[in-house]
Structure formats: structure tokens, C-alpha cells
């Protein structure tokens, strides 16, 4: 029985119909493999495009945040300079007040001040 199957199989493989079947099977196999490679290539390309778009969006967001941080830093520096100027003005005003008043700078009430306070 095995020899009949081998004999029939050999005849089929060596006939034109057998060669056509083998050729069609080979072409079909090549088509399936090529299609799967094309799908994999397209998927990889799509993934790369999505990753590139995500990286570009992240870079744009980082640049926007850096610009916002620079603006906030500039505004903060202006406020610091304004408050330093205000502090210097207040210190000069306080020093001028200390120079114009004859009150004891240590905060001790002397006799002249005590008499003036009692008289009021």
C-alpha cells in the first residue's frame, strides 16, 4: 500500500498538474510571507511615526513650560527689585526719623521725655 502511495505521489509530482500545484503552493507561501512582512513593516513604521509625534509634542510642551518659567522668573525678579527698593526707601526713612528725633535710641525714658509726657 505504501508503494502505491509513493508511486502515485511521484507521478503527481513529476506531472504538469503536480508541478503547477507545487508552483501555486510556492507562490501562495511567498505571498503569505511577503504580506506578513509588509504588515510588520507598516506597523513598525506607524509605531515610529506615533513615537516621533509624541516626542515632538513633549518637546513643544517642554519649550512652552520653559518660556512660562522664564516669564515668571522675569516678573519675580522685577518684584524682588521693587521690594528691595521699597526696603531701602523705608530704611532711609527710618534712619532720617532716628536722626530727627531726640528720643533715646536704646528705648530708655530719660528725665526730659518723662517731664514732657507728664505735661501732656
Q: For residue range 18-47, list pLDDT tens digits in order.
A: 788 888 989 999 999 999 999 999 999 899
1 band by pLDDT with thresholds 50, 70 and 90: low
69 band by pLDDT with thresholds 50, 70 and 90: very high
Cα–Cα distance measured from residue 19 to residue 26, given in angstroms and rounded to the nearest whole number = 10
Per-residue b/e over 71-107, b at no fewer than 16 CB within 10 Å? Answer: eeeeeeeeeeeeeeeeeeeeeeeeeeeeeeeeeeeee
Q: For residue range 85-112, list pLDDT tens digits in order.
A: 999 999 999 888 878 877 666 777 777 7
Give 13's Cβ-side CA count (13 Å radius).
6
Domain residue spans in the chain? 11-100
| pLDDT of amino acid 103 | 66
Cα–Cα distance measured from residue 111 to residue 1, given in angstroms and rounded to the nearest whole number = 140
C-alpha cell recorded at residue 110:
530719660
Amino acid at each position: 500500500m505504501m508503494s502505491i502511495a509513493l508511486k502515485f505521489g511521484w507521478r503527481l509530482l513529476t506531472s504538469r498538474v503536480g508541478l503547477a500545484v507545487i508552483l501555486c503552493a510556492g507562490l501562495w507561501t511567498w505571498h503569505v510571507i511577503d504580506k506578513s512582512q509588509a504588515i510588520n513593516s507598516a506597523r513598525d513604521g506607524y509605531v515610529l511615526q506615533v513615537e516621533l509625534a509624541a516626542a515632538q509634542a513633549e518637546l513643544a510642551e517642554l519649550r512652552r513650560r520653559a518660556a512660562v518659567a522664564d516669564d515668571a522668573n522675569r516678573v519675580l525678579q522685577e518684584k524682588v527689585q521693587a521690594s528691595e527698593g521699597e526696603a531701602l526707601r523705608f530704611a532711609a526713612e527710618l534712619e532720617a526719623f532716628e536722626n530727627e528725633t531726640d528720643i533715646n535710641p536704646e528705648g530708655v525714658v530719660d528725665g526730659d521725655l518723662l517731664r514732657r509726657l507728664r505735661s501732656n
